[in-house]
Structure 1
């Protein structure tokens, strides 16, 4: 275990679930196989990204419903569902249903903001209300209320043979405590803490008080916990792109290094009007990556991770990377497999 770090308690991974437009089933099956492999390797959690009108998984809740029937232990998460595309009441029903099917293993992560390319998609998504939709934190609050058992209507009772509830059904006990907010700003970190959510911090943050990625991420972790009723015990999961090469072939190693090299320029300074900062991808042996993480200010204050798999690699690459994370990097960070 690296010095000056907490032992890693929970080890997870995140995948985007890419597919070929001409053969989408194979890509979805690959994602399910990767989640099954994750459980076999002892990972604590598997997370799916969310992509609309792209060649990545657009319905992670549906995919995780399938994954819940192929696995028995591993926690299943979304990182993250952009709520600008969702009706909070309907999403609450879907989340509760999958949580029931999984035996209480669902960890939904969400975020706010208008849908990407909103001007191009708004007429299809909200043809009558596009200019009146609220894409702020109120959308998350509504979802939390429904998931946590607040009434959705003032009517309940029987009409003929039909019985109606004023609460979202099914109700999934415990799901409200497993809701995560994916945030990259101090404001989001504070809001998530104030509303007793868990906090996902990824490889993208907003440069507000610093231009050092690790310092920025650390400030978010501390702001979240300072505003959470559980204080320092509040759950935070860090999601960096981590690519161990212990058992990689020479060809794989070269591909991984080239991938990281092409993405490196965006990590040096804030990007765009929002001043977004990107973390460098960590490529190397597990020993080398563990050493890099030991000097990462934010990593030293968390004990959960969901390492992100690169977007564009092949299935065999993901198998190698996950196997090395579970059998080499995780133990080097003080983690024990959940087998």
Structure 2
């Protein structure tokens, strides 16, 4: 059984053509879509975090609200940019949201992607140490976050506190048991996937990754997943890891689907998201279900992963996006053995 969820960037635009015209629309519709996806039998509702953009930028209020409105579905991120995060404050927010959701958070974190402004993390008060890069800073923030989530005391208590303390060093509260094992790293390279494995994080691989071989995205991702699992095994962790890949997949089952996505299918393409860093961008799958099934059988990374995240066009509205999810669950997933 493969877990299937959706991934939303939460775009919004005041354009009359957009069904999501404000930040409030993006947040409230995201909650409604999580509820609808749960009712359809989907396994996860995931959200992308981008700062300085007309997208979802503050995940924990959204995750907490979605957690209060749902009962079963996993709620996650893909991904939170750790260059911007205070790992201790983040641990408090994450613990609170996870407790509200009853232990259903699946938090994807990462070094992040190019943002809307130059060195946006500087405006949040973070600067890499001398001789370090912003990627080094993100990984350091991630390591601190993971350590705090273990729930071990580290802070010296005040001998004259306002309220009585438990014995020993104090930890951050609220603490949510098990959240440490539900942290994922969004890896753009094989090396960072292996690093994530050593630290005991699950793996997220997106619709793009840095080009390391010139091969199609799904082939490079499959190699990345195998390298990750080998590193996990070598690290000797006592549990099995989870791996997700993201894809843009649309089953064309009615006239509206054809109007929106008919003819949009293409091939992988290569380009530069940072100077001197070539990346491979994944194709869009858009076809009638029988054709789609045959195409997806050839995707090596989907075959390797246990979780598939469907990127959704959120500005087309909750109802249409619920239809996109339902079409995959009903017309595609069973034939591929995912359901």
Shorter-chain TM-score bucket reads 0.7 to 0.9
Aligned to 1:236: 243
Aligned to 2:201: 197
Q: Distance in 1 between matches of 2:113 and 2:299?
A: 32
Equivalent residue of 1:168, what SS?
A: coil
Q: In the alignment, is the contact (CA less than 8 A) between 2:252 and 2:262 conserved in 1?
A: no
Q: Distance in 2 between matches of 1:231 and 1:275?
A: 36
Q: Distance in 2 between matches of 1:125 and 1:279?
A: 32
Superposed CA offset, 1:11-37 (max 9, x none): 111111223456432232211111101
Aligned to 1:14: 7
The answer to whether residue 281 in structure 2 is matched with residue 284 in structure 1 is no
Given the alignment, which residue of 304, 313, 316 partners 2:316?
A: 313
Greater shift, 160-169 or 194-203, is seen at 160-169
Bigger RCO of structures 1 and 2 (CA < 8 A, at least 6 apart): 1
Equivalent residue of 1:78, what SS?
A: strand
Aligned to 1:109: 108
Unaligned 5+ residue runs, structure 1? 1-7
Superposed CA offset, 1:60-93 (max 9, x none): 2210100011100101001100011110000011
> Aligned runs of 1:69-218 on 2, under 5 Å?
69-112=68-111, 116=115, 119=118, 121-122=120-121, 124-126=123-125, 130=127, 132=129, 135-155=137-157, 159-161=161-163, 163=165, 166-218=170-222
Aligned to 1:3: none
1:158 shift after superposition = 5.5
Unaligned 5+ residue runs, structure 2? 15-20
Root mean square deviation, CA, Å: 2.5
Q: Distance in 1 between matches of 2:158 and 2:113?
A: 34
Superposed CA offset, 1:104-152 (max 9, x none): 10111100158725636355322xx535375242221111011122444
Paired positions, count: 321
Q: In the alignment, is the contact (CA less than 8 A) between 1:18 and 1:28 conserved in 2?
A: no
Q: In the alignment, is the contact (CA less than 8 A) between 1:20 and 1:27 conserved in 2?
A: no
Aligned to 1:269: 270
TM-score with structure 1 length normalisation?
A: 0.86
Greater shift, 311-320 or 28-37, is seen at 311-320
1:270 shift after superposition = 4.3
Q: In the alignment, is the contact (CA less than 8 A) between 1:80 and 1:108 conserved in 2?
A: yes
TM-score with structure 2 length normalisation?
A: 0.86
Equivalent residue of 1:275, what SS?
A: strand
Aligned CA distance change for structure 1 residues 125 and 99 (closer, same or farther; 3 Å): same
Aligned CA distance change for structure 1 residues 222 and 122 (closer, same or farther; 3 Å): closer
Equivalent residue of 2:223, what SS?
A: helix
Q: In the alignment, is the contact (CA less than 8 A) between 1:83 and 1:139 conserved in 2?
A: yes
1:167 shift after superposition = 1.0
